[in-house]
């Protein structure tokens, strides 16, 4: 686990033939009010929990789990993580909370063919990704997470209920899978994805001042060039029309 700033920690995903999302831990360690962002892929709970314990953090300090979105590579090990911290609340954007509570797994798997493959590979039963959501996030929510402040930014397009978390004072953005380093963006061909929405979301993120980009996969960037997200949006705009 790597410290990004006071109150933001990074646990790198361990990709397999399916990627594993990065996990971030948010909150000042002294606050005893910590939040996990995106647990990750099936089978990845153990090393991520261990990384947290290795920092001297007691698991009782973890109060909640926030999903940037509910794709399999982010939510796959949610059930494993919750076995370790069953008291932790689950916070998801309202648009993806509803299908999650109903057991509609189309967003989780993204496409039917992928669902069948993963259910076989990981021995997943239908309905494995049915969860009650404790708080339904909305655009503009202000979250005080263990002495750090984050704005919820609703950025659909990669998935219908994607959110970014933005710390305006520290200029830190967690965009989930909406935008990555190296001018890459999230895919927009999965169930509930939408190219024009993704374009608008990128343009919306482009209006934020961001120094530190903490995406769901690949490199993190700690001194993001000004205009980076807007440039990325422009490069991709022809494909997102």
Part of the chain binding Zn ion (CB under 5 A), chosen from 28-36, 94-102, 122-130, 172-180: 172-180
Kindly determine how many residues on this chain lie close enough to bind Zn ion according to the rule CB under 5 A: 5
- Helix, strand or coil, per DSSP, at residue 109: helix
User: Is the CB of 71 or the CB of 115 nearer to Zn ion?
Assistant: 71
- CB-based contacts of 82-86 (< 8 A; 24+ apart in sequence): 83/45, 84/45, 84/49, 84/59, 85/59
Q: How far is the CB of 41 from Zn ion (least distance, A)?
A: 9
Give yes or no for residue 177 binding Zn ion (CB under 5 A).
yes
- Assigned token pair, 161: 């209920």
Q: Is 103 helix (H, G, I), strand (E, B) or coil?
A: coil
Footprint of Zn ion on 22-81 (CB under 5 A)? 71, 73
What's the closest the beta carbon of residue 186 comes to Zn ion, in angstroms?
A: 6
Contact 19, 41 (CB under 8 A): yes
Using the minimum distance from each CB to Zn ion, give the nearer residue, 57 or 78.
78
Show contacts with Zn ion in window 191-230 (CB under 5 A).
216
Q: Which stretch binds Zn ion (CB under 5 A): 18-26, 135-143, 204-212, 233-241?
A: 18-26
| Nearest CB to Zn ion, comparing residues 64 and 71 | 71
Q: How far is the CB of 227 from Zn ion (least distance, A)?
A: 25
Sole window of 25-33, 101-109, 176-184, 226-234 interacting with Zn ion (rule: CB under 5 A): 176-184
Q: Which 96-155 residues touch Zn ion, going by CB under 5 A?
A: none
- Please say which residue, 21 or 212, places its beta carbon nearer to Zn ion: 21
Nearer to Zn ion, 7 or 76 (CB): 76
**Least distance to Zn ion, CB of residue 63, Å:** 24
Q: DSSP letter string over 176-241?
A: TTSB-STT-B----STT--HHHHHHHHHHHHTS--SEE--SSS--BSSPPTTHHHHHHHHHHHHH-
Return the exposure string of 139-150: e unless at least 16 CB atoms fall within 10 Å of the residue's CB, then b. eebebebbebeb
Which residues of this protein are in contact with Zn ion, per CB under 5 A?
21, 71, 73, 177, 216
């Amino acid at each position: 686990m790597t410290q990004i700033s006071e109150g933001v920690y990074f646990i790198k995903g361990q990709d397999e033939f399916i990627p594993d999302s990065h996990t971030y831990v948010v909150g000042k360690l002294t606050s005893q009010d910590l939040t996990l962002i995106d647990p990750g892929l099936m089978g990845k709970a153990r090393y991520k929990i261990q990384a947290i314990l290795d920092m001297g953090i007691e698991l009782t300090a973890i109060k909640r789990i926030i999903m940037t979105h509910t794709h399999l590579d982010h939510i796959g090990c949610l059930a494993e993580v919750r076995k370790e911290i069953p008291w932790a609340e689950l916070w998801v954007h309202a648009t993806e909370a509803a299908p999650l509570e109903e057991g509609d797994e189309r967003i989780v798997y993204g496409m039917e063919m992928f669902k069948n493959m993963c259910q076989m590979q990981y021995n997943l039963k239908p309905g494995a990704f049915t969860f009650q959501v404790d708080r339904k996030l909305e655009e503009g929510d202000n979250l005080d997470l263990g002495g750090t402040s984050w704005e919820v930014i609703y950025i659909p397009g990669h998935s219908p209920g994607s959110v970014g978390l933005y710390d305006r004072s520290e200029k830190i953005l967690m965009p989930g899978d909406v935008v990555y380093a190296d001018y890459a963006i999230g895919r927009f061909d999965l169930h509930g994805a939408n190219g024009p929405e993704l374009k608008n979301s990128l343009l919306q993120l482009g209006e934020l001042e961001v120094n530190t980009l903490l995406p769901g996969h690949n490199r993190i960037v700690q001194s993001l060039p000004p205009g980076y997200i807007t440039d990325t949006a422009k490069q991709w705009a022809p494909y997102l029309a």
